[in-house]
Amino acid sequence: MLQGTKNISSKSLADLLEIRGSLVRKDLSYFGKLGKRGAGYDVLALRKRIAEILKIEKKKNVCIVGMGNLGSALATYKGFDALGFKIAAVFDKSDTKIGHKIRGHLCYDISDLAGIVSEEDIEIALLTVPAEASQETAISLQESGIKAILNFTPVKLGLSKKIKIKNVDLAMELKTLSFFVR
My answer on whether 19 and 99 are in the same domain is no
My answer on whether 89 and 138 are in the same domain is yes
Structural domain range at position 22 = 7-54
Encode pLDDT of 132-162 as tens digits.
Answer: 999 999 999 999 999 999 999 999 999 999 9
Encode pLDDT of 53-112 as tens digits.
Answer: 877 777 899 999 999 999 999 999 988 987 889 999 999 999 999 999 998 999 999 999
Its pTM stands at 0.74
Quote the strand ranges of 110-146, DSSP E: 122-127
My answer on whether 37 and 120 are in the same domain is no
- Rg over alpha carbons for the chain, rounded to the nearest Å, is 20
My answer on whether 50 and 121 are in the same domain is no
**Alpha-carbon distance 30 to 117, whole Å?**
37
Domain count, the chain: 2
My answer on whether 80 and 95 are in the same domain is yes
Q: Is residue 39 part of a domain?
A: yes
Encode pLDDT of 159-170 as tens digits.
Answer: 999 999 999 988
* 41 and 10 Cβ atoms separated by less than 8 Å: yes
Encode pLDDT of 4-49 as tens digits.
Answer: 678 888 888 889 889 998 898 888 888 888 877 877 888 888 888 8
Give the model's pLDDT for residue 50: 81
Q: Is residue 181 part of a domain?
A: no
Q: Is residue 105 part of a domain?
A: yes
